[in-house]
Structure 1
Amino acid sequence: MIRILVLCTGNSARSQLAQGYLQHFAGNRAEVYSAGVAPHGVNPLAVQVMAEDGIDIAHHTSNHADEYLDIPFDYVITVCDNAREQCPIYPSNATTIHHSFPDPGHQPGVDALTSFRQVRDQIKYFAQDFIATRLPENDGPAH
């Protein structure tokens, strides 16, 4: 089973969106986790915009990255620059990938809900591409 960890600063929005989409597109080919370097709860707008796209993340929790130090991840994906800079060292051979997305709660001139929808869509396309290129359909190990 492929294990993926998505990291962001607060584990409240971007990493939650990515966890939801990566798990959705991977199905039973992966276990997807998300965490933050300074977690502060799942943002209700993240739950709302994912529900609009048919994905329920209402059960997600906001976790600290240190909680997962003992899990042998195959991929660690940072989705904001701050998380990449503060990313803990995972004792595994995890492939690290960085793709910074805008902070959906802090885009000047864009209302919060619109911003969350825009970032959700960017993350959705990233997640689709990631799963299509990194996880083979035959459930074998990714190379």
Structure 2
Amino acid sequence: MKKIYFLCTGNSCRSQLAEGLAKSILDSKEWEVRSAGIEAHGLNPRAVQIMAEIGIDISQNKSEVIDLAFLNSSDVVITLCGDALDNCPVIPKSVQHIHWGLEDPAKATGTEEEVMNMFRKTRNEIEKRIKHL
């Protein structure tokens, strides 16, 4: 079974969206999907909400820090922000590393609708990229 690891700063939003989407898109018999962060900031409630809009429940996900054993045994590691790219532990040369520099929707400002639209935009971009892996 192949392993894919999505990494961002706090494992609260982008990497959680990616984990939920990858689990719904990729074949679970072929892929083990996990996410983590440099730190664990807790699951962002807006991330849970926008995933529920498309029928994916991530409400029971846990915000976790990087597991070095899983990182080192992964087939693919995808960093979703510059902080994870810059501060991630060294990714072994045997692991395919892909960087998706996505804006953090948790830092969006404006009306509630504008903020939620930023979350949706990020979710949709991640979904498109996972489908093209």
Unaligned 5+ runs, structure 1: 131-143
* 2:21–2:127 CA contact under 8 A, matched in 1: yes
How many pairs were matched up?
A: 128
Structure 2: distance between partners of 1:81 and 1:91: 18
Paired position in structure 2 for 1:47: 48
Paired position in structure 2 for 1:135: none
Paired position in structure 1 for 2:27: 27
Paired position in structure 1 for 2:77: 76
Deviation string 1:70-93 (CA, Å, 9 cap, x unpaired) is 121001100001100001124572
Paired position in structure 1 for 2:118: 115
SS of residue in 2 equivalent to 1:122: helix
* 1:69–1:91 CA contact under 8 A, matched in 2: no
* 2:40–2:65 CA contact under 8 A, matched in 1: yes
- Tell me the TM-score normalized by structure 1: 0.84
Percent identity over paired residues: 41
Q: Once the 2 structures are TM-superposed, how far is the Cα of residue 95 of structure 1 from its aligned partner?
A: 0.6
2:57 paired with 1:56: yes
2:118 paired with 1:127: no
One-letter identity of the residue aligned with 2:59 = A
SS of residue in 1 equivalent to 2:105: coil
2:18 paired with 1:18: yes
Structure 1: distance between partners of 2:59 and 2:109: 27
* 1:73–1:92 CA contact under 8 A, matched in 2: no
- Tell me the TM-score normalized by structure 2: 0.89
